Structure 1
Amino acid sequence: MDWRVKSLDDILATAEKKSLHRSLGAFQLTMLGIGAIIGTGIFVLTAAAAQKAGPGMMYSFIIAGFVCAVAALCYSELVAMAPVSGSAYTYTYAVMGELLAWTVGWALVLEYAVAAAAVCVGWSGYVMGLIQKATGFILPELLSRGPSWSMNGYMPVIDFSHGIVNVPAIVVALVITALLVKGTSESAKVNSILVAVKVTALSAFIVITLPLINGENFVPMLPNGWLGTQGSGVGVVGAAASIFFAYVGFDAVSTAAEETKDPQRNVPIGLIGSLGICTVFYMLVAAGVVGSVGAQPITSITGAVLSPDSAEFVTRCKELASAGSTPIVCSHEALAEVLSKLHYDQVSKLVGLAASIALPSVILMMIFGQTRIFFVMARDGLLPEKLADIHPKWKTPWLMTIVTGIFVAVAAAFFPVGQLADISNSGTLFAFFMVAIAVLILRKTDPNRTRPFKTPMVWVVAPVAAGGCLFLFFSLPTVAQLVLPIWGSVGLVIYFLYSRKHSHVGKAIAAQEAAKK
């Protein structure tokens, strides 16, 4: 089999020929990382995690954070060695060859673009809740949420009774796309402001809720157990697989490596620094939610555990709401809802406002990451090179950004936030798994290459990272597990019909063989 490996030296040379402007420093990268990490995961998915694990979601945050930490150490070594755009795609190309690199790049669409769509849906819930509190206006449910999706065996079932299309999610996706077309530097400046808004809102939430913690709210700690049933996605580990989404933005920092000053120093700082800061915030916020108002999951009338994205779950939440009781697991704006239950109505509105203002920074970073990966794939010839054109005035891959933004808007319009997050996680976990393997292979095949940052105890850390990613992947709901191989199969068709023929590496190999003859 022809693996078509593109060496790190060739990758660095290609980047120099058609490169992006280096303008980002360590502080900006850390802010970009925090901007990408803190978002829908903590503002919105806290409710879904509570439905899956109850108070046990505290353990879920620890499990997901640990897997991300060991993956971050692997990322840091590779990014410092090859400070170019492309994330896991680039590293796989250098170590395991073009075919596997293509599958990783294709899977990263599920990470970034689908994740951006999930955040758009999360933003929609907060902004519509804020508008309702401020003005009393309620956008009809059919226009403010997409349909519910479930599985009947291996066949998807779509329920339009609670929603048809999420119009606010479409709007925010297109606005952020326009901002990214305008320019990276401007986007980074806006992002730094939005990060400050998010951190302030979460700090206020922590200060209010932690003194009100009631130990009784943590009992039972594990209402759905550790593992739940196979393929259900519930239990502590199932919640960890979903809440993993709350951490994955850190690797968006690596996609900005080619636009970073002194990347060997600044990228590892941005990666590990942003992850550490966000982990502290997550644990404190989760403790505040559970301890102050409780976070026990709701069940069907027969006592069955309900998926937070199912039509039956939505119906059950409406029944409880009509009876005068709205559990926090039913909320589309969990943190603001907690403060409302504690009678901090004004602060609740401010947190809702902060989320509505700041969540777009996460969308910005996710679309930013996706376009940079596609940019590198097009630069390698695996996608049409026209897509990699840099705008003469704004110096951004404008056409790629527009295509990605449209994809994000469509996904946000028709899928619920929890399922989008789980699908995104499937692609992310696959990419992280490949990065962990790549670190080990490079230690063997290229041991003398300069490594400005070396993964500590690599023969322990990298296998733990790879194993952790596999463990969480198989803890996702069945539908999310199935999306990755189906999506990958579509990608393989495109690769063999188009990408393999147009690959620059493939053309170079063919030219060398022709010269020998």
Structure 2
Amino acid sequence: MVDQKTPAKGDTVAPTLGRRLSRRKPVEKLVAETESDSGLRRTMGFWQLSMIGIGATLGTGVFVVLGEAVPIAGPAVIVAFVLAGITALFSALAYAEMAGMIPASGSAYSYSYATMGEFMAWVCGWCLMLTYGVSIAAVGVGWGQYINELLHLTTGLVLPPALLAGPLEGGVVNVPAAVVILLSMFALLAGVRESTRVNAVMVAIKVLILVMFVAIAITAVQRGNFAPFMPMGMAGVSAAGATLFFSYIGFDSASTASEEAKNPQRDLPRAIMFSMILVTAIYCLVAFSAVGALNWNDFADGETTLAGILTMVTGTPIWAVVFAAGAVLALASVVLVVLYSQTRILYAMSRDGLIPKAFSKVDAKGTPRANTVITSVFIAALAAFIPLGPLADATAIGTLFAFALVNVAVLVLRRTRSDLERSFRMPGAPVTPVLGVLSCAYLMFSMSLSVWIAFGAWLVVGLIIYFGYSMRRSALEDEPEVDVRV
């Protein structure tokens, strides 16, 4: 339960370091903040929230990673997609319970603040900055490559190499990467209602393109292409599953829209689960059609693409153009939604005093304008000039760490606040959240040492900022100490 310790009148003794690190933000306070007039406008219903989750998830994975996973697992890549989906589902269920109970824009950051204290919340928020910021830049770079491919397929021309990479990679500036991020910025500045409409259109188009792929490729499915079904054994399926897991990252973006949802307690859990189920179904259908239409041995070196399969099936290269256009829309949708999510995480951290207040100031449209501009310009510069290298790979660890903390948050609140109303309850708890933590830990520790070094360096920078700036500027610094007793 919660005990308030009110200092005696005139007592100005600062809280100890231990108190600062472990101070928690009560669930009731978090909920009250979301219900107050924060300036954000509640315009999103179930479908808009679902489109955010699908838009952030359904991207590079299905267009690129499938070709890399088939040589590892063979036709059993279908099973690998299911296994990766189940692994992601544990965390999705945890997000659904927490989002329905604490509908705050801070998402995993806010859940950690309520359960594990300010220090762990800061670490979680810092990890999410890495995850969202660098992944936006990386997707922007990928978008530029697809734009170049589409230009070549339609006109025979290509962009100069100097405009496709930064100076440290032999170019001058990656113009397309910066352009797609800045275009997304302008969409967000137009307002939440307008940007969600743009996202919904892009999501609908890329879903239709994938459905079209399934409808055409399934006509060429041959039973012999599924034998042997598991040529590399279960080890190959597991390895492919680890690769494919990152195709599911993004469903958590819906939770960052909590304070702009009309009925977050009802709609957020439903939107998170719906987006996960739909994305998993699409992935499995695409995988079945792809390996059924083309023998798995022909997926050599991860170079076979969905467009290549359709060209083989139909005998015309027009599908390469269609899929290049689809990939452009798919990646643009990812940039838009993940950039939106990044600004809302920063909004919540700013409201708590951990980063400058400029990030939580909202204009008349309900848009954190300064937040959006500063974040977008910084990430656009990152994508345009800086090689991402191991830092891009480290985003996976940051994501998994945040997922693990959300599962822990479910366990903590189930024990300490069983009285809280839950619009969605994670089935199978406490077993399922424990499995969620373990699956995230397994994938984290399967990564290379260079990735861990990059992640460690990022954490060191975050610790310097927290102890040098954020800890003493926390909104809880001058409030009575709050103990949450387990």
TM-score bin, normalised by smaller chain: 0.7 to 0.9
Aligned counterpart in structure 1 of residue 187 of structure 2, from 179, 192, 199: 179
1:118 aligns with 2:138: yes
Deviation per CA, 1:22-60, whole angstroms, max 9, x where unpaired? Answer: 110011111221112111121233334346655554343
Match of 2:203 in 1: 195
Match of 1:92 in 2: 112
Partner AA of 1:89 in structure 2: Y
Deviation per CA, 1:323-372, whole angstroms, max 9, x where unpaired? Answer: xxxx57236xx322332343242233222222223421111110111110
- Rounded to whole Å, the distance in 1 between the matches of 2:229 and 2:451 is 26
Deviation per CA, 1:148-185, whole angstroms, max 9, x where unpaired? Answer: xxxxxxxxxx8x47x77543222111111121122111
- Rounded to whole Å, the distance in 1 between the matches of 2:155 and 2:285 is 32
Q: Secondary structure at the match of 1:21?
A: coil
203 and 89 in structure 1: CA distance in 2 versus 1, 3 angstrom threshold:
same
Alpha-carbon shift at residue 124 of structure 1 (Å): 2.2
242 and 184 in structure 1: CA distance in 2 versus 1, 3 angstrom threshold:
farther
Match of 1:309 in 2: none
335 and 164 in structure 1: CA distance in 2 versus 1, 3 angstrom threshold:
farther
Match of 2:51 in 1: 31
- Rounded to whole Å, the distance in 2 between the matches of 1:415 and 1:44 is 23
Aligned counterpart in structure 1 of residue 371 of structure 2, from 368, 384, 400: 400
- Rounded to whole Å, the distance in 1 between the matches of 2:130 and 2:426 is 27
1:40 aligns with 2:40: no
Alpha-carbon shift at residue 408 of structure 1 (Å): 2.8
1:374 aligns with 2:346: yes
- Rounded to whole Å, the distance in 1 between the matches of 2:337 and 2:413 is 29
Partner AA of 2:405 in structure 1: M
Alpha-carbon shift at residue 253 of structure 1 (Å): 0.5
Aligned counterpart in structure 2 of residue 451 of structure 1, from 422, 441, 460: 422
Q: Secondary structure at the match of 2:430?
A: helix
Q: Secondary structure at the match of 2:363?
A: coil
Instruction: Give structure 2 stretches of 5+ with no counterpart.
Output: 1-17
Q: Secondary structure at the match of 1:404?
A: helix
471 and 446 in structure 1: CA distance in 2 versus 1, 3 angstrom threshold:
same
- Rounded to whole Å, the distance in 2 between the matches of 1:473 and 1:378 is 29
- Rounded to whole Å, the distance in 2 between the matches of 1:297 and 1:388 is 52
- Rounded to whole Å, the distance in 2 between the matches of 1:221 and 1:120 is 36
- Rounded to whole Å, the distance in 2 between the matches of 1:89 and 1:225 is 39
- Rounded to whole Å, the distance in 2 between the matches of 1:145 and 1:222 is 40
Match of 1:4 in 2: 23
- Rounded to whole Å, the distance in 2 between the matches of 1:75 and 1:24 is 18
Deviation per CA, 1:194-226, whole angstroms, max 9, x where unpaired? Answer: 111011100011111123234555567667776
Alpha-carbon shift at residue 459 of structure 1 (Å): 0.9
- Rounded to whole Å, the distance in 1 between the matches of 2:161 and 2:75 is 30
86 and 178 in structure 1: CA distance in 2 versus 1, 3 angstrom threshold:
same
Deviation per CA, 1:108-166, whole angstroms, max 9, x where unpaired? Answer: 1122222222322332232221111110002244543579xxxxxxxxxx8x47x7754
RMSD after superposition: 2.7
| Farther off after superposition, 118-127 or 95-104 | 118-127
Match of 1:64 in 2: 84
Q: Report matched runs for 1:289-438 at 5 Å.
A: 289-294=290-295, 296=297, 327=300, 329-330=302-303, 334-342=305-313, 343-392=315-364, 394-413=365-384, 422-438=393-409
Deviation per CA, 1:291-323, whole angstroms, max 9, x where unpaired? Answer: 33345599xxxxxxxxxxxxxxxxxxxxxxxxx
Match of 1:133 in 2: 153
Partner AA of 1:264 in structure 2: Q
489 and 8 in structure 1: CA distance in 2 versus 1, 3 angstrom threshold:
same
Contact 2:174 2:385 in 1 (8 A): yes
Alpha-carbon shift at residue 415 of structure 1 (Å): 7.4
Contact 1:88 1:432 in 2 (8 A): yes
413 and 420 in structure 1: CA distance in 2 versus 1, 3 angstrom threshold:
farther
TM-score, structure 2 as length reference: 0.87
Alpha-carbon shift at residue 290 of structure 1 (Å): 2.9
Alpha-carbon shift at residue 239 of structure 1 (Å): 4.0
Instruction: Give structure 1 stretches of 5+ with no counterpart.
Output: 148-157, 228-234, 299-326, 513-517
- Rounded to whole Å, the distance in 2 between the matches of 1:418 and 1:193 is 32
Q: Secondary structure at the match of 1:256?
A: helix
- Rounded to whole Å, the distance in 1 between the matches of 2:297 and 2:441 is 28
Deviation per CA, 1:255-300, whole angstroms, max 9, x where unpaired? Answer: 00110011111001100001101100001112233333345599xx
Partner AA of 1:212 in structure 2: A
Contact 2:112 2:406 in 1 (8 A): yes
| Farther off after superposition, 239-248 or 499-508 | 239-248
Q: Secondary structure at the match of 2:476?
A: helix
Match of 2:250 in 1: 249
Contact 1:328 1:338 in 2 (8 A): no
Pairs aligned (count): 461
370 and 203 in structure 1: CA distance in 2 versus 1, 3 angstrom threshold:
same
Deviation per CA, 1:402-460, whole angstroms, max 9, x where unpaired? Answer: 22223432443467899676332211100010000110011111111111111111111
1:473 aligns with 2:412: no
- Rounded to whole Å, the distance in 1 between the matches of 2:378 and 2:329 is 22
Match of 1:320 in 2: none
Q: Secondary structure at the match of 2:25?
A: coil
Alpha-carbon shift at residue 187 of structure 1 (Å): 0.5
1:83 aligns with 2:83: no
Contact 1:170 1:412 in 2 (8 A): yes
- Rounded to whole Å, the distance in 1 between the matches of 2:386 and 2:297 is 25
Identity %: 40
Aligned counterpart in structure 1 of residue 458 of structure 2, from 471, 474, 487: 487
Match of 2:285 in 1: 284
Partner AA of 2:188 in structure 1: L
Contact 1:64 1:243 in 2 (8 A): yes
Contact 2:151 2:157 in 1 (8 A): yes
- Rounded to whole Å, the distance in 2 between the matches of 1:417 and 1:47 is 23
Q: Secondary structure at the match of 1:507?
A: coil
Contact 2:391 2:454 in 1 (8 A): no
Partner AA of 2:38 in structure 1: K
- Rounded to whole Å, the distance in 1 between the matches of 2:317 and 2:480 is 66
Deviation per CA, 1:49-73, whole angstroms, max 9, x where unpaired? Answer: 3466555543432222111111111
435 and 19 in structure 1: CA distance in 2 versus 1, 3 angstrom threshold:
farther
190 and 61 in structure 1: CA distance in 2 versus 1, 3 angstrom threshold:
same
422 and 50 in structure 1: CA distance in 2 versus 1, 3 angstrom threshold:
farther
276 and 352 in structure 1: CA distance in 2 versus 1, 3 angstrom threshold:
same
435 and 415 in structure 1: CA distance in 2 versus 1, 3 angstrom threshold:
same
Match of 1:210 in 2: 218
| Farther off after superposition, 368-377 or 339-348 | 339-348
Q: Secondary structure at the match of 1:505?
A: coil
- Rounded to whole Å, the distance in 2 between the matches of 1:457 and 1:114 is 34
1:507 aligns with 2:478: yes
